[in-house]
Every structure is written in structure tokens, then in C-alpha cells.
């Protein structure tokens, strides 16, 4: 389960609520009167072969007067933030992976580390949640997977001088990361080891589903396991964040111009997703349609 949670955070879509229009894209136009924003679901890690992105994303960017991301990626890339995140996800003094995992699971983790050049000794003092994330990202990098949709447009906006904003602060991100600690370490590591064996297959399935707007597959593989096996974590990382972001999104309708807002796709839909919440507040939601001459 936990690997799927991490993967969901990297991909971050749930099944559309019946009231939200179905589409073959994860990019939407949200409007009220003459005001509108473009709201797109992203995948945070991609292989270079996954580029170019679906054409509608570049088309929406070309129409946008500003770009909004979940958080400031410049701050996320700062070594100071990395140090703070590591501190948040460390075990309390006196605890290590070898002391907290069962002997059987610790042995399995050691075997994986030896077979896959994973430096587990460097992470002895960290919560299994952090170790799971590092294992996942390292395997992704070994498979040539790099930065995804958010980073692509962040860098493009920097080059183009397009104004940027964010939906949450770095401090809020750290709070959410801390929620991921303190859970059953054996279950986290075992699930991670099991699912990493299917990494290539899962990555292919998820990217294909994202590109085609196949929300049913995304929900089945990512959201549903998290809702069933870690409802409290799902509530904090998804539902509560959506609720926190909603006022920020609504404030954009009071500004001049059109903003392109990119969030992990898991935040878009479902009964507690952003699209449903915006519809309930009277906004019109429709699949993005490129401007035609």
C-alpha cells in the first residue's frame, strides 16, 4: 500500500464524481461569468520519452497570464528545505530501521539493498516512510525517469518571465510530510518491496492513464488503496489539502487575466476533489478546449 501512496503523491487522480463531466484529458477550464482558470492534473515524474506533453497543456500555458503550482519548486529544491524534510522524517533518538523493523523484514530490506545498490545504511535513522520514498525515487532515476509536468512548466515560466504563485507554503508541505511518519514500518517496507517489482508496469499504466484521462484506472490503482488502507492519511494529504487550496483557487477569479493551475491529478476529482468542490460552489467545469482561429 505505501508504495502506492508514494506513487499517488508522485502522480497524485481519483475517479470522477458523477456530477463532473468525463473527458479524455486531465486539463479543465473552470469558469464563472467572464472569469476563468485552467486547472490541470499532473504527474510529477516522467521519462524523457513521455515528452512532448499532451498538446492541450502547452496550449493552455500559451493562453495563461500566470502559472500556479502546488508549492514553490524553487524552495523545494533548496538544500535547506531538504535538510528540514529529513529532520521531520527521522526516527526519535535511540530508534533505527534495524531495531524497529522485524528481523524478517529487515533481512528482506538488506537483500534488496544489496541487489539494487540501495545504500540502506545511510538511512538507518529515518522513518520507513522516508526510506520508501527514497527507494522509489532512486529506482525511478535508475530507469531514466526525471522531473515531470510541474517542473517542466516551472522552468518554462522562469525562462519566459511568466508570473508564478503557489497554493501552499513550504512549512505546510513539511507538516504534511510529518503525517506520513509513525506508521507500521513492516507493512510499509514489505509493500514497497512488493510493488517495486512491478515498477515499470505501474509506471507505464499510470502515464498512459494520465495522458488519456483514464480516471477509472488511476482511481483503482492509486486512490482506492489509499482510501481503504490509510483513510486518515488520505484525509490529511488529499481532502484537507484540497479544502485548504479551494479559497486560493477562488481568489484567482478576482484577479485580472487567466491562471494555469497545475496540481497532482489525485487532487482533481472524486467526491472530495477540487472539481467537485468547485462545481458545488457554482463554477462551471469543462474539459479544456484549445482556442481555434
Neighbour-count burial of 262, counting CB atoms closer than 10 A to its CB (0-12 exposed, 13-18 middle, 19+ buried): buried
If you average pLDDT over residues 143-162, what whole number do you get? 95
Task: Reply yes or no on whether the pLDDT at 123 is more than 90.
Answer: yes
Contact 292, 35 (CB under 8 A): no
pLDDT at 161 over 90: yes
Backbone angles phi, psi at 117, to 5 degrees: 55, 40
Burial (0-12, 13-18, 19+ Cβ within 10 Å), 193? middle
Predicted pLDDT at 9: 54
Q: What is the mean pLDDT of residues 180-198?
A: 89
At residue 75, the pLDDT reads 93
Averaged pLDDT, 90-102: 96
Most confident by average pLDDT, 25-39, 134-148, 170-184, 267-281:
25-39
Considering the chain, what is the average pLDDT of its residues? 87
**What's the mean pLDDT in 205-222?**
80
φ, ψ at 204 (rounded to 5°): -60, -45
Contact in structure between 60 and 42 (CB atoms under 8 Å): no
- In whole angstroms, give the CA distance from residue 207 to residue 204: 5
Given a cut of 60, is residue 235 above it in pLDDT? Answer: yes
Dist CA 101 CA 250 (whole Å) = 45
Cα 30 vs. chain centroid, distance in angstroms? 21
- What pLDDT, on the 0 to 100 scale, is given for residue 13? 33
Amino acid at each position: 500500500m505505501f508504495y502506492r501512496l508514494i506513487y499517488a503523491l508522485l502522480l497524485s487522480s481519483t475517479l470522477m464524481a458523477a456530477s463532473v463531466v468525463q473527458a479524455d484529458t486531465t486539463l479543465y477550464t473552470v469558469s464563472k461569468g467572464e472569469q476563468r482558470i485552467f486547472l490541470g492534473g499532473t504527474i510529477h515524474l516522467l521519462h524523457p520519452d513521455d515528452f512532448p506533453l499532451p498538446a492541450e497543456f502547452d496550449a493552455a500555458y500559451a493562453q495563461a497570464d500566470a502559472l500556479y503550482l502546488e508549492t514553490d519548486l524553487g524552495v523545494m529544491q533548496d538544500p535547506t528545505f531538504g535538510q528540514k524534510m529529513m529532520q521531520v522524517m527521522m526516527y526519535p533518538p535511540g530508534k533505527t530501521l534495524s531495531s524497529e523493523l522485524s528481523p524478517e523484514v529487515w533481512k528482506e530490506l538488506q537483500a534488496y539493498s544489496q541487489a539494487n545498490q540501495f545504500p540502506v545504511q545511510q538511512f538507518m535513522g529515518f522513518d520507513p516512510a522516508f526510506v520508501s520514498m527514497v527507494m522509489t525515487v532512486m529506482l525511478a532515476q535508475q530507469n531514466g525517469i526525471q522531473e515531470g509536468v510541474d517542473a517542466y512548466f516551472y522552468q518554462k515560466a522562469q525562462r519566459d518571465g511568466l508570473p508564478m504563485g503557489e497554493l501552499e507554503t513550504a512549512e505546510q508541505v513539511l507538516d504534511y510530510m510529518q503525517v506520513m511518519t509513525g506508521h507500521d514500518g513492516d507493512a510499509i517496507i514489505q509493500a514497497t518491496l512488493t510493488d517495486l517489482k512491478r515498477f515499470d508496469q505501474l509506471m507505464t499504466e499510470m502515464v498512459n492513464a494520465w495522458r488519456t484521462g483514464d480516471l477509472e484506472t488511476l482511481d483503482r490503482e492509486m486512490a482506492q488503496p489509499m482510501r481503504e488502507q490509510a483513510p486518515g492519511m488520505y484525509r490529511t494529504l488529499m481532502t484537507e489539502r484540497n479544502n485548504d487550496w479551494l479559497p486560493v483557487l477562488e481568489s484567482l477569479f478576482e484577479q485580472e487575466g487567466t491562471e494555469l493551475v497545475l496540481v497532482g491529478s489525485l487532487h482533481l476529482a472524486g467526491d472530495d476533489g477540487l472539481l467537485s468542490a468547485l462545481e458545488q460552489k457554482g463554477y462551471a467545469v469543462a474539459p479544456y478546449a484549445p482556442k481555434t482561429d
